[in-house]
Structure 1
């Protein structure tokens, strides 16, 4: 944490300056690092994009280098690093199915994900098992997507965005947590898509959300307006998307708790 520790179980680190005492991790078997500035639906300036990038790369490099240092002192101990990434790694893939074997896209979010994952290199080179969690849209109570779209739909202003044909790779909160717990012990390394087995188009998402909230979904949002306002956030994750499948996660033996978009949305808005 970045604030002053309050108990003996808390430890301070400074990812902005890539400082952490490696001794903190000497007796640690696994680290889950999801740190990074929040991605929010707001106008994206170059300064904001730089903040998104550096917050992710610096925190990941800080943890990775510290794990590499302790692994060098105790090479026989198995260690794991589960590091955040995003399904935006693939760029806008239209209706093409993508798995962990597909290459990255070329927009800002995709390039950021590439650098984010590359920051785990020191740990990998030191023999630490590294898993990069390419997470989709997490459907959870209070999640930005659920909060913002929920308000829009409750006001009767909801509808598809752009063509509505773009795929949104979603995952229920229970499965995000369940998958991370599973991957802490599974014999898996490299990128893993944390997405539900059934990515939905934006039009399907809008129709389902409206049904859950008992509201209409009749007001489409022009994609060009969002692209002008939100730049790569809109191109990659709103007007565009990824039809990403959790191939490696399922191959490793994970069983999803929630495969229904409607069920996940009902839980997220408290209507299950």
Structure 2
């Protein structure tokens, strides 16, 4: 039987695809929007002012929160760092407190709340699973307070899953899209040394794992949303070039990245050797378990 799902961040890169997946699975999705609603499948809220009608939440079997300003969309200055943080913490806090404030019988059964592999900071060559402590750096600090904001719902005995998402692969967005044109022109190469680990995941498996976690009552806490076969940036670049029938060009120097990306350059050059411990233990079956098949799916016009 389908669930009634309340979703924040439904208009984003991942959110639009997840709405389609949940709808195809027979669930009913209501989107939280900040503008006036345009239909029965939308409800207005204002998370920056902690405004959310509890009755809207009480009607949901599950809440999914993917809201947050893009970390690679703009150069990071002090103002945008505040936006990155507040867009995640305010939405999560508003949802978690509203859920906790409902009578026990009216609370949703589960909160799937976005987080990121940025939790771990730069892990170098050290492989980490969900039990690893938070690392250092701006995104690690954001992830720490972001995940902590789910605590009221957890304390109210609601199952909370924190989706520590890596790099879902899709030609229309994320970290893959900006690499396609330079690669097509034959002027792309590894970033910096290329030795940094990249925590990729096929888009089909991000969607599949999200649907899996929605219904797995025995899985809670942090879940690394990454593929099972970790690769370095150099390996990623070589495989992408092979599939696009292009040469890999000279490495893109770290200094050039700092000029182009600003504060985000540190994250692009950092290493995240993150393994999907929780998904593996829960028995999730990957549709695309290796980078080659995941990139083939991402570059295909039939990709989800």
Same fold (TM over 0.5): yes
Residues 79-118 of structure 1 aligned to structure 2 (within 5 Å): 79-118=109-148
Per the TM alignment, residue 3 of structure 1 is displaced from its structure 2 partner at its CA by: 1.5
Instruction: Please tell me whether the aligned partners of residues 139 and 268 of structure 1 are also in contact (alpha carbons under 8 angstroms).
Output: yes
Per the TM alignment, residue 8 of structure 1 is displaced from its structure 2 partner at its CA by: 2.6
Instruction: Please tell me whether the aligned partners of residues 176 and 194 of structure 1 are also in contact (alpha carbons under 8 angstroms).
Output: yes
Per the TM alignment, residue 212 of structure 1 is displaced from its structure 2 partner at its CA by: 1.0
Q: Give unmatched runs, 5+ long, in structure 1.
A: none
Distance in 1 (alpha carbons) for counterparts of 2:301 and 2:292: 10
Per the TM alignment, residue 256 of structure 1 is displaced from its structure 2 partner at its CA by: 0.7
Name the SS for the 2:43 alignment partner. Answer: coil
Per the TM alignment, residue 157 of structure 1 is displaced from its structure 2 partner at its CA by: 0.7
Per the TM alignment, residue 228 of structure 1 is displaced from its structure 2 partner at its CA by: 5.1
Instruction: Please tell me whether the aligned partners of residues 223 and 276 of structure 2 are also in contact (alpha carbons under 8 angstroms).
Output: yes
Instruction: Please tell me whether the aligned partners of residues 75 and 261 of structure 2 are also in contact (alpha carbons under 8 angstroms).
Output: yes
Residues 39-188 of structure 1 aligned to structure 2 (within 5 Å): 39-40=71-72, 42-70=74-102, 73-75=103-105, 79-186=109-216, 187-188=218-219
Per the TM alignment, residue 76 of structure 1 is displaced from its structure 2 partner at its CA by: 7.9
1:218-243 alpha-carbon deviations (Å, 9 max, x no partner): 2101123323553542222x111211
Distance in 2 (alpha carbons) for counterparts of 1:217 and 1:257: 28
Residue aligning to 1:234 = 265
Per the TM alignment, residue 108 of structure 1 is displaced from its structure 2 partner at its CA by: 0.2
Residue aligning to 2:236 = 205
Distance in 1 (alpha carbons) for counterparts of 2:213 and 2:263: 30
Q: Which has the higher contact order (CA 8 A, sep 6+)?
A: 1
Instruction: Please tell me whether the aligned partners of residues 65 and 122 of structure 1 are also in contact (alpha carbons under 8 angstroms).
Output: yes
* 2:248 is the alignment partner of 1:217: yes
* Structure 1 residues 3 and 34, CA gap change in structure 2 (3 angstroms): same
Name the SS for the 2:71 alignment partner. Answer: coil
Distance in 2 (alpha carbons) for counterparts of 1:265 and 1:41: 22
Per the TM alignment, residue 145 of structure 1 is displaced from its structure 2 partner at its CA by: 1.6
Instruction: Please tell me whether the aligned partners of residues 41 and 233 of structure 1 are also in contact (alpha carbons under 8 angstroms).
Output: no
Give the counterpart of 1:6 among 9, 29, 38: 38
Name the SS for the 1:11 alignment partner. Answer: strand
* Structure 1 residues 16 and 77, CA gap change in structure 2 (3 angstroms): closer
Residue aligning to 2:279 = 249
Per the TM alignment, residue 23 of structure 1 is displaced from its structure 2 partner at its CA by: 0.6
* Structure 1 residues 147 and 10, CA gap change in structure 2 (3 angstroms): same
TM-score by length of 1: 0.94
Instruction: Please tell me whether the aligned partners of residues 58 and 108 of structure 2 are also in contact (alpha carbons under 8 angstroms).
Output: no
Instruction: Please tell me whether the aligned partners of residues 228 and 276 of structure 2 are also in contact (alpha carbons under 8 angstroms).
Output: yes
Alpha-carbon RMSD across the aligned residues, in angstroms, is 1.6
Q: How many residues matched?
A: 269
* 2:70 is the alignment partner of 1:38: yes
Distance in 1 (alpha carbons) for counterparts of 2:292 and 2:197: 16
Q: Which moved more, 1:191-200 or 1:218-227?
A: 218-227
* Structure 1 residues 200 and 41, CA gap change in structure 2 (3 angstroms): farther
Q: Give unmatched runs, 5+ long, in structure 2.
A: 1-32
* Structure 1 residues 241 and 130, CA gap change in structure 2 (3 angstroms): same
